[in-house]
Amino acid sequence: MALNKELSANIVLLVLRVVVGVNMAWLHGWDKLQHFGARAASFPDPLGIGSKYSLLLAVIGEFFGAILMATGLLGRVGAFLVSFTAALTLFSILHGSPWKEREVWELYFAASATILLLGCGRFSLDTVVWKKLGKGGGGKGAAHPAKK
């Protein structure tokens, strides 16, 4: 039984969102959220807004953005937050570091940028919400380029 291209694309987007979002939230965001007070004074400040606010932005991107992306509820907003956080980490905090130290952040950036550009697909909470509201917004999911 072969899957059609649209269904396959939606399954790939689901797997990508969930794997990347859960890993980002669990491995990076949760620790920062749990130890916010202890880390606030010494967190890197690449934007010049203060360590506490830089940590707050990191928690928003790495935990809350990742959860939004994983669930597909405001998934593109979440993907933007993850992309922004990963890009900031790559180009500011890890700038000049060996590739092996940057590798995971490059993957987070690539995956979240893909979701930002393509959307969350049919299997997302956005689709459920839009269908319930009768707007039809997120229901189509990823389509084959020739069908657009």
Over the stretch 5-35, which tens digit does the pLDDT of each residue have? 999 999 999 999 999 999 999 999 999 999 9
Q: Tell me the average pLDDT across 64-91.
A: 97
Residue 144 lies in a domain: no
Tokens 């990508």 found at: 16
Residue 115 lies in a domain: yes
Structural domains counted in the chain: 1
Q: What percent of the chain has pLDDT over 90?
A: 83
17 vs 15: CA distance, rounded Å:
6
Q: What is the pLDDT of residue 142?
A: 52
- The answer to whether 94 and 114 are in contact (CB under 8 A) is no
Q: Is the pLDDT of residue 144 over 50?
A: no
Average pLDDT, the chain: 91
Q: What is the pLDDT of residue 130?
A: 82
Q: Which ranges of the chain does DSSP label H, i.e. alpha helix?
A: 5-24, 30-34, 36-39, 51-59, 66-71, 75-88, 99-118, 125-133
- The answer to whether 109 and 87 are in contact (CB under 8 A) is yes
Residue 147 lies in a domain: no
Residue 126 lies in a domain: yes
Least confident of 45-49, 90-94, 130-134: 130-134
Closest C-alpha to 75, from 109, 125, 23: 125
Contacts of 143 (CB under 8 A, 6+ apart): 6, 9
CA atoms within 13 A on the CB side of 89: 24
Q: Tell me the average pLDDT across 80-88.
A: 97
Residue ranges making up the domain that contains 102: 5-139
Residue 145 lies in a domain: no
